[in-house]
Each structure stands twice: as C-alpha cells, then as structure tokens.
Structure 1
C-alpha cells in the first residue's frame, strides 16, 4: 500500500500546496469516541466491550484501493467495496450504543460516511485540475488489503509544519473472533 501511495504522492508534489501523509500514518477513520481529557477509562472499556461483541461475528474484510481522487480538502483513495466498511461502521456504532447509549455522529460524517484513506491534505487554495491530471498519469495496479482488526487509538493532530494525525494504539479488537 505504501508504495502505491508514494507513487501517487510523487506525481502531485511538483504542484505544491500539499501536506503529504507519511506511510506510517495512512488510515481510515470510522468513528470518534471522544476527547481524551473528557472520556473516562470506564467509558472506553465499555465501548471496547460493546464493539468487540458486535464485530466478533464479522469475518475479516477484504478491500481494494484502486485510484485516488480529490475530495474537498484532500487527495484520497476510496476502498472498494465500500459496503463492507459501511457494515463495519454500523456494527461499531451499534456496539457503542449497546454499551454506552446513543452516540453522536462524528462531525466528519454528518454529510454521510464516505470511507477513504487520505494521502495528502491541501494547505492552500487552488485548482484541482493539475492534481487530477497528474494522478491520472500514474500507472499502478490496485492494492488489496485484508483488515483483521480495528484499533482504538489515542490521536494527536499535529499542525504546522507537518499537518498530520499521529496516534498510539490503545486497544486492538479482532474481527471474526467468534467466526468458526
């Protein structure tokens, strides 16, 4: 995955106006849980238990990443089929609702859940067309990925000069642990 992302990033770097996302920080965000300073350990433990129950019967996911595109303030690659991530989100939210009550939709998802992996963020205004053309010239095969687990992370948003999300893993929840 990192190699294909690096190829696409190299194609758009000459146009400037970007903060590239390093390979170590590539991710797909499903659901926010809460701010660290406002979320108790017992709440987190309840979320982990509820989500674990809901995803334990879901087998590991097979997704592919084919072509990047410009989405609002970022260059992203959408996973296919997206339906499996929609189902995963439903299970995550249901597990949270089971264990801690009704959870809010995250601000990013209020317009609807669009699963994607960002590879660069725009840091200045400009036309999307040069980036779109450059991305279209890259010849790369699709990349298939098996998703075996979800990670509950403690995230830190680093602004200038990096503009990147960094995190540590709090807990990993296995998909399909109850599937025989």
Structure 2
C-alpha cells in the first residue's frame, strides 16, 4: 500500500482512517482555517466522487485546512486556553496573511484532498501557532510531534475513505474533471473544539483569530 504524495492516482489503494468514539475525552482542540463558500468552487471534484460508496464526502460546512493540534479538552484548562488564545492572536497579528492556490486533488490512502500551493507560507503559519502552544502548555504537551521540513503537507480534504478501495477508478474520475485553480488569502485561523463521531471532523466551537489584523478567508 503506497502512501507517497503526488498527482492524482499516486496511491495504489485507499484504507479506512481511524475513527473517534463519542466520548468527552475525544473532543479535541485544534487550530484550523475554516472554509468559506469560495473554497468549494472545486465542488465538481466531489460530484465526481459521489458514485463511490467507499468515500465519505465532506460537506462544505466542514471543509478546513488543519494547522496544528492542541490537545484534548479535558487536558487544557480554561486559564491555559485563554492564555493560548491571547498569545496566538498576538503572534498572528504580526504576520502577513498567506495566499495559496488549490487545483488538482491528490489521492492518498485515507483521503482525497487538495494540496495548498505553495505550502511554505502555511508551514510558517503552523510554526508560529506551534511555538505558541509550546510556550503556554510546554514542549511535552504539544499535540503533534515535530516533523521534518516538508513532511507537513497543508491541504483541504474533500473525502475520507471508509473502506478498502482501489485508487485507480477514483483517480480516473477525478482526472476527467476540468476545473480552474482557486487562489485564496487565508485571513484567519480558528481555534476549534471538534469531534469525529460521524466519520468526519465537526466542530462545536470556533474562535476566529485574524492574521495580520485581517478578517475572513477571502479570494
């Protein structure tokens, strides 16, 4: 089973992703950039995937670009969360909102997603958020381990795999879609409380923090 990134069809097969059960402990905190309506101009790609019962299509309301995990809600106190929110907001305010482009989707073992290009501005954004999390919670409580440069691939998932599936028919369906690239300036990062009880990430709380004093995600 191949896991490398690349153009549509680069993975030999898709596998089921790990699912969260419905418990308070598994309700988690993360930083993410939520999608606006303009993100879903690539709805034609999702339409081409509708025939595959092994894929769970992600509704427009839940499209997002994950930046950095924070932790479980029962492990982050209200005081820590308040400090973290203030610090992330200050750090983001000093940045220039990054502009990225989404075009051709990638088929991976657990999902079909749109990579953000270029990835470097989002990686820099993640570093800022990650350092703020470490400063408030401590290095030993940072939710995700440090990755080598280039391993973090910012993206917006269009569908998650729910069963074993040959990737080739999916890649073929996507290759027949003709869509123009979409360029967006990411104007904010959201601190989210979310779960994955229904086979996709859904949040119950979202605190938008502007980047560079900006507002919502915009074209």
- Cα drift, residue 110 of structure 1: 5.6
| Aligned twin of 2:208 | 172
Matched, 1:117 2:156: yes
Matches of 1:21 and 1:167 in 2, distance apart?
13
Matches of 1:18 and 1:164 in 2, distance apart?
11
SS in 2 for 1:176: coil
| Aligned twin of 2:193 | 154
| Aligned twin of 1:84 | 121
TM-score computed with the length of structure 2 as normaliser: 0.73
TM-score computed with the length of structure 1 as normaliser: 0.88
The answer for unaligned runs of 5 or more in structure 1 is none
Is the 1:27–1:118 contact (alpha carbons within 8 Å) kept by the matching residues of 2?
A: yes
Is the 1:151–1:169 contact (alpha carbons within 8 Å) kept by the matching residues of 2?
A: no
| Aligned twin of 1:104 | 142
| Aligned twin of 2:110 | 73
SS in 2 for 1:31: strand
SS in 1 for 2:203: strand
Query: In the alignment, which of 134, 139, 153 is matched to residue 173 of structure 2?
Result: 134
Matches of 1:46 and 1:88 in 2, distance apart?
19
Aligned residue pairs, count: 173
- Cα drift, residue 50 of structure 1: 2.1
Per-residue CA deviation, residues 46-100 of structure 1 (Å, 9 max, x unaligned), is 2112212222111112111011011221000001111011000111111222333
Q: What root-mean-square deviation, in Å, do the aligned CA atoms of Structure 1 and Structure 2 show?
A: 1.9
